[in-house]
Amino acid sequence: MLKSLAGHITLMYFALSVLVVFIIVAGIIISETLAFDRDIGLTIARTTEIDRALMSAQIRDGRTVSQAAVYTAAHTDRPDFYIYALDARSRTAFNGAANWSAVESNLSDFSFSVGSLFGAAPSPGALRATVSGGSFWVLPDFAYLGKLISTRLDQLLPFLLVALVTAYCFVWLIARYLTHPLQLFSTQLNLLAEGDFNTRPMETTAPAEIRALDTVYNEAAQNIQNAVIARERASENVRSFISDAGHELKTPLTIMMGYLDAVATGLVSDRKDTQRILNKALAECRRMRNTIIRLSTLARLDQEAGEMSTFDAAALVGEAVDSMKGLAPNLHLDLPGDEEMFAFGNPDELREAVVNVIDNAIKYAPGSPIDVRLAKFDSEMRIEVADAGPGMSAYDREHAFERFRRGSSQANVEGSGLGLAIAKRAIERANGRITLRSEPNRGTAVTFHLRNAAADGVALSS
């Protein structure tokens, strides 16, 4: 029992080849029969006249009708006819072949009997002629036609067999070629089912329908692989996040517990010392609260789909700078005139991103001038926050946007190390990007690249 698609295709096309061979054989039989019939129709009348003349001459020489028929059949030289003679005593069929078999003779006699039964001519195309002492018919010899057809088929049979074998081999190769991509596709699906998500590009030399399947498979496999990679990365980020968050929260809690334990156990009894310890514990509480707030902000940015809209980038940056002006007297804003500058994103998230970057500059470059610039280009809007502080090393630049990452040379600076991570996530949610330039002792510049709403054809809000 055939179980493979290639086997079914091969069998189907081989059956079609056999049908073609049968059609060819039928065509040969039909064409030979039509040619035989056409030749009989053209020559039977003349042959009948020739045979009557020969038989009449033999009868005049004293031979019987049967004897004259034997002589005539032998000298007519037309193996495609036979003579059926009838006299008062007997009826006999002869043709020109000396080895006319009994089977052929009986066939001819049967044809004559059937034709006579229905009152018609002895056989199709027969002509009757009378001679002295009897009569005879000249009839087509269909046994001779059978020999012609058999000879033609015997000549053609080897070629038909070779054609069938060649067709089978050719169809088998085509079936293998057509089904090979499907076999590869099945193998790939089995690998996916077993948990192997590494994509392997499939062959693209197959027909268009198979290539379309290849494209769909490769895209699906790539999407699955990307999803698995993203899931693994997310899991790793969660593990790292939990570890770092635990460390960041454990430190202030440990400090608070030490302070409070000193007060609770009576180690510190002086009122001023107690107040000083409580103030430090309160400061650690604030630090821990700020860390939790920023962790909540990151969690929200990771999960919720913020509402995006067009907004006035100049107004947003101006508000962010005004809110931080009290903490940094050297904070300067540079806006390009009165030109309208509309960007696309979530205004609240982007304002928070700008504030976080400014806050980082204030902490890590204290006393340094901080310049906030806004510029418009053909396809994007750029917001840059630059300081003239101590800058970053190559290692710090590489890890600047990681969570809980603070400059290695500024470990004493208070903060959670989440400011740039929050800014990066907010910009990415607006389909933008964030870049950082920094060199040791040459300051740091953080740039937001946002979509220019006017260039994108986005409807501008009033």
Q: In angstroms, how far apart are the furthest CA atoms of the chain?
A: 171
Q: Give the closest residue to 441 by CA, choosing from 364, 371, 384, 385.
A: 364
Q: Name the CATH architecture for the domain at 308-462.
A: 2-Layer Sandwich (3.30)
Between CA 237 and CA 64 the distance in angstroms is: 120
Q: What's residue 99's pLDDT?
A: 43
Q: What's residue 448's pLDDT?
A: 92
Which residues 6+ apart lie within 8 Å of 403 measured at CB? 237, 240, 241, 244, 298, 417, 418, 421
Tally of CB atoms within 10 A around 63: 16
Look at the pTM and tell me if it is higher than 0.85: no
HSE (side-chain half, CA atoms, 13 Å) at 71: 17
Task: Tell me the CA distances in angstroms from 67 to 70, 225, 362, one per residue in order.
Answer: 5, 99, 139
Structural domain boundaries in the chain:
5-147, 201-304, 308-462
Residue 9 has pLDDT above 50, yes or no: yes
Which residues 6+ apart lie within 8 Å of 355 measured at CB? 320, 323, 324
Q: What's residue 106's pLDDT?
A: 54
Sign, Cα dihedral of 358, 359, 363, 366? positive
Across the range 326-330, mean pLDDT stands at 83
Q: What's residue 122's pLDDT?
A: 43
What does the block give as tokens for 378?
Answer: 């053909």
**Phi, psi values for residue 444, rounded to 5°:** -135, 140
Query: Could you tell me which residues are beta bridge partners of residue 140?
Result: 81
Q: pLDDT-derived band of residue 107, with 50, 70 and 90 as boundaries? A: low
Tally of CB atoms within 10 A around 330: 16
Q: Give the closest residue to 178 by CA, choosing from 14, 4, 1, 20.
A: 4
Across the range 250-254, mean pLDDT stands at 72
Query: Could you tell me which residues are beta bridge partners of residue 87?
Result: 134
Q: What's residue 446's pLDDT?
A: 92
- Model pLDDT for residues 379-413, shown as the tens digit of each residue: 888 999 999 888 888 888 888 887 766 665 555 55
Q: Is 370 helix (H, G, I), strand (E, B) or coil?
A: strand
Domains 201-304 and 308-462 share a fold: no
User: Domain 201-304: which CATH class?
Assistant: mainly alpha
Q: Give the closest residue to 297 by CA, choosing from 436, 458, 426, 198.
A: 426
Q: Are 344 and 458 in contact (CB under 8 A)?
A: yes
